[in-house]
Amino acid sequence: MEMRLYYHYLKSLRQDLLLKFNYQNCYDVTQLQRIHVTSLDAAELLSGLRTSTLRGWRAYNFLEKIVTILPKQPVKITENCIYITMSHERDASYYAGTFTCVIVTSAKSQQETQVFWSGIQTKMNRHKI
């Protein structure tokens, strides 16, 4: 299985973050912790919300697909989370339905999260699948 985004994080993005924010330890660098995927259609049909949580290599693989398919999707960035909502207006999410992705990072500030997100988008825009 190819994990280009994960290798990009390990080889270049992590070092860039380490130097930019002057971390003392490489384990303090912002990293992807998990992705919560919630279907909004299921929330309307069912009484409870159906969510999926992706961690590890599955989270990086899913994030690579989302950024590749919908590169200009608007996002909302908070302190350590990135919110992406896909709706039926987009052709790529027509068959998947309306869903929301919450990307949780280990960042301590909104600026760290923005630099992390821009590094991922830069990588994926440079090397299209």
CATH (one of 3.40.50.20, 3.30.1440.10, 2.40.110.10, 3.20.20.70) for 4-126: 3.30.1440.10
- Return the amino acid letter for 116: F
pLDDT given for residue 111 in this prediction: 92
End-to-end CA distance of the chain: 14
Contacts of 70 (CB under 8 A, 6+ apart): 84, 86, 90, 92, 93
CA angle in degrees (0–180, nearest 5) for 119-21-124: 5
Q: What is the pTM of this model?
A: 0.79
CA angle in degrees (0–180, nearest 5) for 8-12-13: 80
The residues of the chain scoring below 70 in pLDDT are 1-2, 40-50, 87-97, 123-129
For the chain, domain boundaries: 4-126
